Structure 1
Amino acid sequence: MITLTGNDLTIEQLRRILFENETIELDDGAMERVCKSRAAVDRIVAEKKTVYGINTGFGKFSDVSISEEDVNPLQLHLIRSHACGIGKPFSEAVSRAMVVLRLNALLKGFSGIRPIVAERLAMMVNEKIHPVIPQQGSLGASGDLAPLSHLALVLIGEGEYWKDGEPADASSVWQQKGLSPVELQAKEGLALINGTQTMTAQGVVTYIEAETLALQSEWIAAITFESLFGVMDAFHPAVHAARGYKEQMAVAERMRWWLDGSRLSTVQGEKRVQDAYSLRCIPQVHGASWQTLAYVKEKLEIEMNAATDNPLIFEDGEVVISGGNFHGQPIAFAMDFLKVAVAELANISERRIERLVNPALNEGLPAFLSPEPGLQSGAMILQYAAASLVSENKTLAHPASVDSIPSSANQEDHVSMGTIGSRHARDITENARRVLAIEAFCAAQAVEYRGADRMSPRTAERLGAIRKVAGPIDEDRVFNPDIERIAAFLLGEAYHGIKQRVLS
């Protein structure tokens, strides 16, 4: 069980909550902060102080005063009117992450919710009541209003939730638990939806996949390296220490680890003096992606423990400030950086695929790894497919964060588009995983032509893992199922926290 405090949730803990069904509990100290914050809201209402979002309208309506008897209906109207997300829903994992992250933010004690709201959100996590949340409709400031409103709908017994993998009406979910839906009171609707938890949730799930994929790209590249008699000198530690990037040095170290004991890799002058960049520069290119992953992880873990709603309540209600922590710019940038970093892993992988299948470049392997070149096409179109995915990634990698469209009658005149960035990062990562699955499939075929008995023990073990899900090319067949099975295998390792090499 993981205790949520509002302050120290990690990506690894969230992975366990999302993919290993780890349950949560609420920290006692956090709940004390929640109670104090709520008492402050109740005093504001009773004393008829004018505070944004408690007894005023929202956005451009912030100058409209709301009477005391209407402060609760105000919150209900907010949720219903803002639940206008569109398009296909996020995955259940992202929905679950959104509930966890919104709850964690509320536990910081700056938002003014009642304890029942936190307790009910915790129940949604532990009993897997996951809202159905459309993907499109958020500008990323004032937070993820539309998608988070769909989350809040389930809390009040409206909207839809996932039941056995299908959307179901949430009107009866609390009745089934012997409970009534939450009736929102002053500020609670705004506290639930004013935040960056959609872009952050999708960002964390994508980061989990991307980090594992970056590690997997190294052993996949190592099998390709053996297939092409790669020159090991390029991974010499002195080369990488001379430049000084720790991530580059770590990739080179892991490549030496994977290839230790290989009788297929070569040294300078044995077959050639140097390799093409897609082999020789693996530490430099992959290392640069690791630098970006480190940046993204840091920003995500800050945001996972951040108060991102508005207004925020300090000093037991003596200080209530309307600020802009809901603005998603930090995560928007992080997601755009993540897109580029993962796209590059796919770019260089596709170039290695080309070297494996091109008879002018593959060191005597059969053309297109075909069992009968000419009569059978072998892996010819697999390279086409990889090239197509890489090209699509170049379009998706266009930064979402450089765009902004004013909203709420220009009150909200600059927005982050961070949720679009997070969705595109997910799409790029899915494409990259399939490109690397194609490389793994081609490299497995190629290295078996060379002689699997000459592989390093570690890459040979990985070859065995590939062969459990995808057989060799004995004759032409429909290769789509092979690639999808390898991609699913790679994804499964991400969700289960399997790392084939400890990060240096």
Structure 2
Amino acid sequence: MNDRISLKQAAIPVFGADALTIEDVCRIARGASARLHDSPDYRAHIERGAAFIERLLASEGEIYGVTTGYGDSCSVGVAQQLARELPIHLMRFHGCGLGNHFTPEQTRAVLAARLASLVRGYSGVRWVLLERIAALLNHDLPPLMPAEGSVGASGDLTPLSYLAAVLMGEREVWKDGQPEASAVALAAAGIEPITLAPKEALAIMNGTAAMTGLACLAFERAEYLSRLATRISAMTSIATRGNPGHFDPALFGVKPHAGQNEVADWIWTDLGRLHDGPQMRLQDRYSIRCAPHVIGVLRDALPWMRRDIENELNSSNDNPIIDAVGERVLHGGHFYGGHIAFAMDALKNAVASIADLLDRQLALLVDTRYNHGLPKNLSGAEGLRGAINHGFKAVQIGTSSWTAEALKLTMPASSFSRSTECHNQDKVSMGTIAARDCLRVVELTEQVTAALLLAVTQGVTLRSRQGELDEATLTAPLRGFRDDIAKLSAFVTEDRPLEPDLRQILVHIRARRWELYS
């Protein structure tokens, strides 16, 4: 993980005392420590729920998932002498996930989201359980958690069962990027496994932590992409000798979408003195002229997405809810991930639209019919050697492929509810699938962005070498950004494999190395 020391020292809210933000979860995902609010009053608040469960058990009270079976089996009573075995069975029979495992970073985000819910004190868990989840984060031992197997209602049961199992010393964890038996890894870290109390497996598993943790990561990456796409669009306008008037504040003053206006203002500022130069044409093609209108959709959607993701993050989202003060067990459906599902379906749609925008910009840049005087395929080769050099021809093909895959994934997962578990879970959110799809769309769009960053830097440099761009007219932020890209990927004169350059740019994108617009 990058910058682990600085991340551990970063100001992370205290679990149980402060609400978490998306950025807090992302910092924890990348290695920051987790700290619990450990005042006596707060510990008593947590323990009160667990103690209430124990009193109900002693008085033979009926509690879903504690003295009954799960889901459709809620009408099946569980004998008192077997109630303490029930959470172990829940954890074990859900150990059936498949597909790729979540990455260590993704799993840390999931653990942060689960801890954020449990520390609210309405799940009937003990203080020691919170300590153990925090210990997994602080010793960097996230469970090996399969990504596939959740329908996102009755919670992320199957993926989160792997957290419950690891707390008991079963299954595997990530250690230094490699799988290791949890019992071995916990022993080496001095973490003692626990036996889950009657409500604790259900409290861990019956919630929205997997989809919410992934949603935090997707949101942060998408927000950064919106800024990169804006900077790239300004550079594409320069490389194609576009009309800066398309971004004039007076033009956008008559259509008051805040995010759209924000993007237009950023581009207008990037273009700087080019506003006053001669214009080649009245109107550019839509992928340049309408860049604020495309990117602005995402910018305008981010605030309500943040609201819903952070509300979910800071909620009690398991079932039943334990009201220890009022001494009530409240049965409901807070495990339903509808808000996250809708946010992720919308986010992947808006991000894929940006991939499509950038793909179209690259198509203009490499085509001599539309790039207004740049060499074919942006090749830097001259003379006879121009015939055998093909510049960014294959990069444009690859970009088209990544864009097509991103667009294909925009089908809303939340529309594919399936009745499961003997029709007990007869309407489900599919929030975890939506979040996984969204992360894949973000990943593909980052690849498109990396490709266009290389191409548009080549295009701007070609304009300068052809004497059609006065370097003095470039704003300092844009010139500095162009120079940073040029340091990572040299000007393409003779054909060379560009995969290493693309991967290097991707590292910088995913680490958010460039400060873009304050």
- Tell me which interval the TM-score lies in, with the shorter structure as reference length: over 0.9
Task: Name the structure 2 match of 1:174.
Answer: 186
User: How big is the shift at 1:177?
Assistant: 3.5
Task: Name the structure 2 match of 1:278.
Answer: 287
Question: 1:406 corresponds to which letter in structure 2?
Answer: S
Change in 2 beyond 3 A, CA 1:179/1:206 = closer
Q: Does 2:341 match 1:328?
A: no
Change in 2 beyond 3 A, CA 1:491/1:149 = same
Task: Name the structure 2 match of 1:307.
Answer: 316
User: How big is the shift at 1:317?
Assistant: 5.4
Q: Does 2:269 match 1:257?
A: yes
CA distance in 2, matches of 1:166, 1:20: 16
User: How big is the shift at 1:7?
Assistant: 5.6
Task: Name the structure 2 match of 1:390.
Answer: 403
Question: 1:501 corresponds to which letter in structure 2?
Answer: Y
Change in 2 beyond 3 A, CA 1:401/1:6 = farther
Q: Pick from 433, 436, 446: which aligns with 1:423?
A: 436
Q: Pick from 456, 460, 480: which aligns with 2:479?
A: 460
Q: Pick from 496, 500, 504: which aligns with 2:516?
A: 500
Q: Does 2:331 match 1:344?
A: no
SS in 2 for 1:87: strand
Aligned counterparts, 1:79-228, within 5 A: 79-228=91-240
- CA offsets 1:111-138 (integer angstroms, 9 cap, x no match): 0001110111111111112111011011
Question: 2:399 corresponds to which letter in structure 1?
Answer: A
Q: Pick from 16, 26, 41: which aligns with 1:5?
A: 16
Q: Does 2:412 match 1:399?
A: yes
Task: Name the structure 1 match of 2:460.
Answer: 447
SS in 1 for 2:302: helix
Sequence identity (%): 34
- CA offsets 1:139-196 (integer angstroms, 9 cap, x no match): 1011100000011111110011011111111022332234431101111110010001
CA distance in 2, matches of 1:252, 1:407: 47
Change in 2 beyond 3 A, CA 1:299/1:208 = same
Q: TM-score w.r.t. structure 1 length? A: 0.95
Change in 2 beyond 3 A, CA 1:376/1:118 = same
Question: 2:487 corresponds to which letter in structure 1?
Answer: K
SS in 1 for 2:100: strand
Q: Pick from 289, 293, 300: which aligns with 2:298?
A: 289
Q: Is contact 2:260-2:292 (8 Å) kept?
A: yes
Question: 1:239 corresponds to which letter in structure 2?
Answer: L
- Name which of structure 1's ranges 4-13 and 87-96 shifts more when overlaid on structure 2: 4-13
Q: TM-score w.r.t. structure 2 length? A: 0.93
Q: Is contact 1:138-1:419 (8 Å) kept?
A: yes
Q: Does 2:427 match 1:414?
A: yes
Question: 1:432 corresponds to which letter in structure 2?
Answer: T
Question: 2:213 corresponds to which letter in structure 1?
Answer: A
Give the RMSD, CA atoms, in angstroms: 1.6
CA distance in 2, matches of 1:110, 1:316: 10
CA distance in 2, matches of 1:121, 1:91: 17
- CA offsets 1:185-218 (integer angstroms, 9 cap, x no match): 1111100100011011111111111111111111
- Name which of structure 1's ranges 477-486 and 173-182 shifts more when overlaid on structure 2: 173-182
User: Unmatched 5+ residue regions in structure 1?
Assistant: none
User: How big is the shift at 1:18?
Assistant: 2.1
The number of residues matched between the two structures is 496
Task: Name the structure 2 match of 1:48.
Answer: 60
